[in-house]
Chain A
Amino acid sequence: DQQVKQNSPSLSVQEGRISILNCDYTNSMFDYFLWYKKYPAEGPTFLISISSIKDKNEDGRFTVFLNKSAKHLSLHIVPSQPGDSAVYFCAARRGGSGAGSYQLTFGKGTKLSVIP
């Protein structure tokens, strides 16, 4: 049951260009979305998040876009740097304080390679 889907297992981008990582979700109860970055042998590191009441959130080189009607979000990295090479996970959380609101549901991840 893939409630959060990252359909591209890998992505290669030239240094300086834009990286766009995509994520789709199926559960309409999700109302908060996060992107995590993971290097090998390390735990996921929080990057940026967005609430369902917004359609865009920006933090430096990272911007997350949310299209609720399409149940789609994307992470833009501009400009891409070699140090951005990692696995990027999209995650979602249900709203409120009841069942499902404590857990993050993760996608399978997209491995980004930024080529110098």
Chain B
Amino acid sequence: EPEVTQTPSHQVTQMGQEVILRCVPISNHLYFYWYRQILGQKVEFLVSFYNNEISEKSEIFDDQFSVERPDGSNFTLKIRSTKLEDSAMYFCASSALQGRGELFFGEGSRLTVL
């Protein structure tokens, strides 16, 4: 069964460092997303990406965040200068459809900022 894969599974970084989280969405999907879940809190939307551009972003997704699809398979989330409050589980997701298609999530990348 096709799945969304994410790397790394866990990253520890110092405050102020840049972090890149990587995702390989399901191959025939067209819509890509990043969500995050801070420990004990709900899953929150960060950004959606379609046709090589951001289609929507939340207030959380400020100038420190960026996304890229550098080739035909990878979808990356970059945090330019990490803060303590960026510590969370980051989930990548993809979907074939926008309006009615369910999202398929990866297993997540846990980011710990010290």
Cβ < 8 Å to B, chain A residues 24-78: 32, 34, 36, 41-46, 49, 51
- Interface range for A: 20 to 34
Residue of A nearest to B106 (CB): A43
A89 to chain B, nearest CB (A): 6
User: Contact between B99 and A97 (Cβ–Cβ < 8 Å)?
Assistant: yes
Q: Which of A42, A49, A95, A103 has the most CB of B within 10 A?
A: A103
Q: Mark B72-114, 1 if CB is under 8 A from A, else 0.
A: 0000000000000000000101000011101111111000000
How many pairs of residues, A versus B, come closer than 8 Å at their CB atoms?
A: 62
By the criterion of a CB under 8 Å from any partner CB, how many residues of chain B are at the interface?
Answer: 26
Q: Which of B35, B55, B99, B105 has the most CB of A within 10 A?
A: B99
How far apart are the CA atoms of A59 and B69 in the complex, in Å? 35
Residue of A nearest to B55 (CB): A102
Q: Of A95, A96, A104, which one neighbours B45 at CB under 8 angstroms?
A: A104
Q: Does B41 contact A (CB under 8 A)?
A: yes
A20 to chain B, nearest CB (A): 20
A106 / chain B contacts, CB cutoff of 8 Å: 42-44
User: Mind listing 11 A-B residue pairs with CB under 8 Å?
Assistant: A36-B105, A42-B107, A43-B107, A44-B43, A46-B104, A97-B99, A101-B56, A101-B99, A103-B33, A106-B44, A108-B41
